[in-house]
Amino acid sequence: MEDRGVLDRQPLPIARGVLRYRNAGEIRGRHDTAYYLFEIYLKYAAAMAMSSYLAADARDHRVNAVLKGLVRPSLGEWMRFLRECAGFLACRETPDPYIRAVAELLDTRQSRWTHVLDLYNALRAERTEKPSERTSVSAAMLLDEVVSYRNRIFGHGALVGEEQYRSFGDRFAAAFLELLEWSPYLRARSLVTFERPEVREGSRVECQVIVYMGLHPIRREEPLTLPYGAPTPREHVLHLLGDDGSRLCIDPFLAARGDDVYVLNDAGGAPEYLSYATGERYRPPTLNDAQRELFERIFGYELAPARLSRLGDDVAAPAAPAVGPEERPRAATLKDYRLVREVGRGAMGTVFEAVQESLGRRVALKLLPGTFALDPKRVERFHREARATARIHHPSIVPVYEVGEAENAHFYAMEYIDGDSLDVVVQRKREEIAQRRGRTASSAGADYIASIVEGFAGLAEGVSRAHALGLIHRDIKPSNIIVDAGGRCVLVDFGLVREQEAASLTQSGEMVGTLLYMSPEQASRRRVDARTDIYSLGASLYEALTLSHPLQGTTEADLQNAILFEDPVPPRRLNHLIAKDLETIVLHALEKNPVKRYASAGEFAGDLRRYLAGEAILVRPQSSAVRMIRLLWRRRGKVAAMLLGALVAGAAVVAWRLWPEGHLTIVDQRRVTSDSGLTTDPAASPDGALFAFASDRAGKGDLDIWIQDAAGTMRRQLTFHEAEDCSPVFSADGSQVFFSSKRSPAGLYSVPAAGGEACALGIQGQDPVLSPDGAWLAYDDYGVWLGGDPSIGRRRIGVCSTATWEPRRVAPDFLAAGRPVWAPDSRRLLFDGYGREAGADREVMDLWVASLDDGTLKRAHLHQFLAEHKLYQPRPVKWESDTLFFCVDQGDSENLWSLRFPCGTLRAEGQPRQLTTGTASGLSVHVGDNGLLLFSSIVKNSDIWSLSIDAHGRTSGESLERITRNLANDDRPWISQDGRTVLFNSPRAGSPDIWSKDLETGALERLTGADGAEIWPQLAWDGAFFVYRSYAAENSGLYLQKRGEKSGRIILDKPLPIWHLSRDGRALLYRSSQVPATLTELIIDTGDTTVLYGHPDLHLYEGHFSPDMQWVTFVAIKTTGGSSVYVAPYRPGTPVEKAEWILIMGGDAGYDKPTWCPDGTGLFVTSDRCGFMCLWRQALDPVRKTPVGDLECVRHFHTAQYSLNAVGAGWLQLSVSPRRLVFNLAELSGNIHQARIRKVR
């Protein structure tokens, strides 16, 4: 790399790092600058990957766990992050090109590397004092040795002698330059900043480009021209610019300053920037938005400007801690925490105010008393409390920073809430009123009431978030609620938290919690669910408002009797300032029958919010007149002021009319259905008098079409077929209901709204959408998104006239198209598509607008616009007037949003606005006329099931058997060959872990529990060990763990998908990180790998060894669409060409999860060939493994209650023993709600 032109093609910090090495004079300087080349190299790669991760607003808990390492000088922290990114890529449906480049970098291994191998062997020999016999190494292996070297030499000064400095310095430089030649990702995108953006003709934007490639920044001659509607990049901020114009902001990890590029670094807890070219450092006097967002995520709180000089300067010196001898750690410190004082003590531990020294922040540190540490049950409960709290992210739930053990003490650190517990606040209020009135406290004022209700509304929303994660607190009471100075209520102490149906440490009959606030079902030792927390919230709110307990009793028996049989005194009798609506809310939460309470904490919070806003509450709707009177009464002082200021009011009216259009909000929400199963796909007739929906309420398990009037007084079943009917939509005159059906022939049907026989329309489609003028019906054509990647799909959309029913395709040349919605003019369709514009050189995923008149297609550029607001993969619902309604899945919930999107300009305007705030995992939405909104909140749960089979894979009768039942998702099951044990992954104890269940005794055992996630278990044939994917905090990768042991050993340093263990336990099939994906064999003892099956036009997945170890079956997905199942010979360590592969099945349907029958004479597969994802079996010739006969259905899953498709391809697993086939099924539930969309200013 002596050629100056080669350096000019590298990013500036790397090019200048090489130049600094060459110019270094003395030997130690050359040694150090050569090492720093690797540090720059890794930090640049990590900055690229992390910027892409943040830009996608990703929330992978394993990556988040190593965020802090990105501002530390430790090279090991950066390697940890790069590995987590590689693992994150393996779990994503759509691989990120930047993160994929990093994953490929770590996996790079070249036989022609001489200097890389020389440095690796020298570092190994220096560390182990033994010669290394490696003949080839990967980049990751070398970088690991560099990390180890850095820790030994720079950290402890272990290397001495001028000759050794000279030797390693030259080796570092030679190996780096060799590695750099095989790192095209560094120069594939230019490092640039933008200046002077100017709007040109046609609303295009032109920017000057400063290129930071090579040794000096250069202004590019031609400006960057951005297309119409594209966002303008930030000035003077570093971006990565691709040849195709794609941009990625890489701020704040890299920053341009003058003619140099600085890298984010840590200086004892303070953020600073370091130039590797000059050694200069500087600290930003203020933070930009990107920096502030990053540091909030890393450090856990907002960095005020005063803290930039030193994060710990503003922490006052603490007083001596008041610690009991049992809990006092030596020298009043524990690990990184300096104890200040004891602030609370309870049954499950002692809480101290402390200072986290490394970050200089106040925390609350909870310690398990020393005597309890000897009780494994209490230790497990203590750690479970910490893990459960850490999973919930909400302002009203105390955030957990760390959990651990040090000096024989178990602890966890959380945010320090500066305030008093609610019981203290209530007692202080009692005393205040008693002193003011000279008698017993009886009531609190209106301001106090409003503050309490506001706090409890946030508290209920936080509890709703916990319930969405399957967590029940079970001990909500005033002493566990902290009220800070701003009135925010924060729930603490999750010591009794329980996951529904978990392998719990608390038996179902054991009564825990504080009796005064227990629900009747909890007090009577019956099974509890999330509604027990709603009762406890109501009891705590009752006491806060009335200053009295809801029930009275002098003994425990009296209290239990009151809880079970007595009603509380109406709150208004104790405090006349409590409004009637507020009293109704509180008493509804305190219903003794949980069925009569609020169905969810979210509904409870919603009613409290509606009360505060003066709107009708859910449990007792009010007329508009009553609502207005009560609103005016609450604001009577303001009303009087308005009457006195008539002139000002008149001016306000003028301003109102001249003010720009307001935003949309949802009001008057109420529940329409209350079914125990799945009720979804709501639709309203044109006049809004009738609602249609799909429901399994008939009890047969399948979805049928139902209809009811808006008042809920009439309900009628319209379809009765055993196949699934869904997605109803009314005709323009309301006389017919169109719907999609899985019956034969599958497709679109029509049924009279008054009842009658359903008729096929002759259209092979689903999810019909009627145009506003009623003349057209759009629909999704049948197809699937294969492999989770829209570029490998077969989805299409069509339209047909409601007069002739003649179908035609829309965007027929697109690789994929779906989810159509009509424009208001009924002549255009908005849809989600993967295609290219005229003149474009590649396909892109975006929302598109198609004209029915001339077939033209226009890209809406909404994906990019919404991504800037951290909203990804929008699902369009309705295009009404100039407003687009769409749904977005944000990880733990899906909600409805709106955006101004005029039909004339096809350009997004303003800000997207969230309309719903639920925690459901799915949403089915209908937006009707006059602001009518119908939606179904869908909840999904996955459990393990089995079918009894014989050696040939045949089943008999109704042999479906449930193995697990839990609110957490149990996935990826694997059964032992003796049929006694099933392994699976589940987050039932917090983070995803590997669990086992004994099918004879029913005993559950948690097999892993590292700091991270362990998923995808595979049990050895003899049951002696199992392998799994681990995203551990220290080392992510593939692990092997012997049965009976508590931890495993790493066998591959990348957590790639595991497909199958060989029968002798010698080899493992896994998916490589190459693109297209290949099937790779790993020899477990030696670590040697061989790509056995691969093809440039096929992605290969789900490889499985045959029982006799002579064959392998796998799925092949074409890069252009379509999937097939193959069987190929297995020759250990030897690649097999495609000419030897045997095609078993393929065609239009999707095929997945091929699994051998016990005797190897057939394959189980999943397929949607019948319109549903079902289980099938294909017989094979015993010798040649060619298909014999037709594909046979093993079990249909045509119901919403039990679904293979809803599990998700990445989490579905088939596994066989001689007598059982095990797999996971998803159960769906949901109900219809009604609301109004109203515009407010």
Residues taking part in catalysis: 475
DSSP 661-685: P-EEEEEEEEES---SSBEEEEEE-
Q: Residue 337's beta-bridge partner residues?
A: 334, 356
How far is it, in rounded angstroms, from Cα 764 to Cα 781? 6
Residue 815: closest CA among 843, 841, 840, 787: 843
Cβ–Cβ under 8 Å, residues 974 and 981: no
Long-range own/partner contacts, residues 807-815 (CB < 8 A, 24 or more apart): 807/763, 807/765, 809/781, 810/778, 810/850, 810/852, 811/835, 811/848, 811/850, 811/857, 815/790, 815/791, 815/843, 815/1120, 815/1121
Q: Residue 282's beta-bridge partner residues?
A: 273
Task: Residue 644: count other Cβ atoms within 10 Å of its Cβ.
Answer: 10
CA atoms within 13 A on the CB side of 750: 14
Cβ–Cβ under 8 Å, residues 406 and 373: no
- Cβ-based neighbours of 650, under 8 Å, separated by 6 or more: none
By the 10 Å C-beta count (0-12 exposed, 13-18 middle, 19+ buried), 243 is classed as exposed
What is the distance of C-alpha 374 from the center of its chain? 37
How far is it, in rounded angstroms, from Cα 129 to Cα 125? 5
Cβ–Cβ under 8 Å, residues 666 and 685: no
E strand segments, 477-586: 481-484, 489-491, 498-499
Cβ–Cβ under 8 Å, residues 856 and 835: no
CA dihedral 485, 489, 490, 492 (to 10 degrees): 110
Tell whether omega for the bond before 745 is within 30 degrees of 0, i.e. cis. yes
- Which residue type is seen at 369? P
Cβ–Cβ under 8 Å, residues 732 and 718: no
Residue 1210: closest CA among 47, 94, 177: 94
Cβ–Cβ under 8 Å, residues 40 and 246: no
Angle at alpha carbon of residue 1120, lines to 1118 and 1121, rounded to 5°: 65
Q: Map tokens 């899953």 to a residue.
A: 1197
Cβ–Cβ under 8 Å, residues 725 and 681: no
Cβ–Cβ under 8 Å, residues 226 and 232: yes
Residue 456: closest CA among 581, 583, 586, 596: 586
Tell whether omega for the bond before 820 is within 30 degrees of 0, i.e. cis. no
- Helix boundaries (H) for 874-1017: none
Give the SS3 label for residue 247. Answer: strand
The H or E element that residue 641 is part of is: helix 636-644
How far is it, in rounded angstroms, from Cα 126 to Cα 166? 14
Cβ–Cβ under 8 Å, residues 1179 and 1129: no
How far is it, in rounded angstroms, from Cα 952 to Cα 950? 5
- Cβ-based neighbours of 840, under 8 Å, separated by 6 or more: none
How far is it, in rounded angstroms, from Cα 200 to Cα 261? 31
Q: Map tokens 């769409």 to a residue.
A: 886
DSSP, res 660: P
Angle at alpha carbon of residue 1168, lines to 1166 and 1172, rounded to 5°: 105
Rounded to whole angstroms, what are the CA distances from 666 to 484, 887, 1238?
30, 15, 6
Q: Map tokens 């539930």 to a residue.
A: 1229
